[in-house]
């Protein structure tokens, strides 16, 4: 792995390993992302995931593994689906969508693959 920035947080709900995360209801809490509109902050890197109220590592910047929930082409941006898995964003014209980074290899649903974590926003 080539993780550059990793921070440990308390979970505000159960989070899965290699799933996309967002901030929780208060400072210092994270939860599993559930939509492309969520303010995505990184990827959970805690083997086995973490139960609510425990600790989890979040990769904020760098290369890490993520679980894919749909087809993504290498070099393409990735966002979160309803299960916190990486999918290709599909914003409507003029609509903004949050992204967590871009794929380093092509993948399909169920694959575990590398992404470069670089949270941001794109517009359709």
Q: List pLDDT tens digits, range 103-115.
A: 999 999 999 999 9
CA end-to-end distance (rounded Å), the chain: 32
In sequence order, what DSSP letters do the residues of 61-84 get, joined into one string? EEEEEEEBSS-B-TT-EEEE-TTS
DSSP state of 34: -
Domain ranges (residues) in the chain: 2-59, 64-123
Summarize the confidence of residues 5-16 as an average pLDDT.
97
The confidence band for 1, taking pLDDT boundaries of 50, 70 and 90, is low
pLDDT in tens, 28-73: 999 999 999 999 999 999 999 999 999 999 999 999 999 999 999 9
The b/e string for 47-61 (b: 16+ C-beta within 10 A; e otherwise) is eebbeeeeebbbbbe
16: how many CB neighbours lie within 10 A of its CB? Answer: 18
* Predicted confidence (pLDDT) at residue 3 exceeds the cutoff of 90: no
How far is 19 from 42, CA to CA, in rounded Å? 9
The confidence band for 87, taking pLDDT boundaries of 50, 70 and 90, is very high
Averaged pLDDT score across all residues of the chain: 96
Summarize the confidence of residues 80-88 as an average pLDDT.
98
pLDDT of residue 59: 97
pLDDT of residue 121: 96
Residue the block writes with tokens 């926003």: 121
pLDDT of residue 2: 74
* Predicted confidence (pLDDT) at residue 20 exceeds the cutoff of 90: yes
């Amino acid at each position: 792995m080539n993780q550059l920035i990793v921070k440990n947080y308390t979970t505000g709900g159960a989070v899965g390993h290699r799933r996309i995360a967002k901030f929780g209801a208060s400072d210092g809490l994270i939860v599993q992302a559930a939509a492309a509109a969520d303010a995505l902050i990184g990827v959970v890197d805690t083997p086995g995931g973490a139960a609510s109220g425990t600790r989890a590592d979040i990769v904020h910047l760098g290369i890490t593994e993520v679980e894919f929930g749909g087809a993504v082409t290498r070099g393409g941006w990735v966002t979160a689906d309803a299960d916190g898995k990486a999918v290709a964003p599909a914003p409507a014209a003029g609509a903004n969508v949050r992204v967590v980074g871009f794929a380093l290899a092509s993948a399909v649903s169920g694959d575990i693959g590398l992404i470069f974590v670089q949270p941001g926003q794109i517009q359709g």
